[in-house]
Amino acid sequence: MTNRSEAATTPLALTSVVASGLPSELGTPSAAKYYEVPAVFNRRPDAVEMAALRGADGHAQLVTAGYPDVTLEIQDRRLVIGHTNLPQLERGLATVVATIVDTVSRAALLDRERVRDAARADFDDRAARAREVTRAAERIRFEPAPYPVRAG
């Protein structure tokens, strides 16, 4: 389970390739040219980050960088980079993917911070109003007049 405070403050990043998740035929003549490469996240991505990484913007960045066939899929704490290979990642795709992950994560962190700041400001405004209303109510005194009051 994602530690919410960690997700709220730590940018999402990739730490390493999961070698045990690579095809067993790698290094043989029968190995596929392209395959899936699983990489480990430093923490579980939140829903906003997952949607952004799976979405059109992430793919558009891959296309712009010259990797139109590469795909990104999230499986738990792993990013599965599809239709690629280790040499392609080593020659620059890893940097492109890391930049996409960082951009998505920092945007999500900024959005969470804006929401938190707006909620804090709203709370502060409500608390200030409540204090002012309380002070106004405390100024009210129900004391009889020192002299008789005549009706109208």
Which is it for strands 78-84 and 14-17: parallel, antiparallel or unpaired?
unpaired
* pLDDT per position as a tens digit, 86-127: 999 999 999 999 999 999 999 989 988 887 777 787 788 888
0.75 cut: is pTM over it? no
Q: Which of 130 and 79 is assigned the larger pLDDT? A: 79
85 neighbors 34 (Cβ within 8 angstroms)? yes
* pLDDT per position as a tens digit, 10-21: 999 999 999 999
* pLDDT per position as a tens digit, 27-66: 899 999 999 999 999 999 999 999 999 988 889 999 999 9
Per-residue tokens: 48: 């906003």
Residue 39 CB burial class (10 angstroms; 0-12, 13-18, ≥19): buried
For residues 80 and 36, give the distance between their C-alpha atoms in angstroms, rounded to a whole number: 6
Q: Is the pLDDT of residue 2 over 50?
A: no
SS3 letters across the chain: CCCHHHHHHCCCCEEEECHHHCCCCCCCCCCCCCEEEEEEECCCCCHHHHHHHHCHHHHHHHHHCCCCCCEEEEECCEEEEEEECHHHHHHHHHHHHHHHHHHHHHHHHHHHHHHHHHHHHHHHHHHHHHHHHHHHHHHCCCCCCCCCCCCC
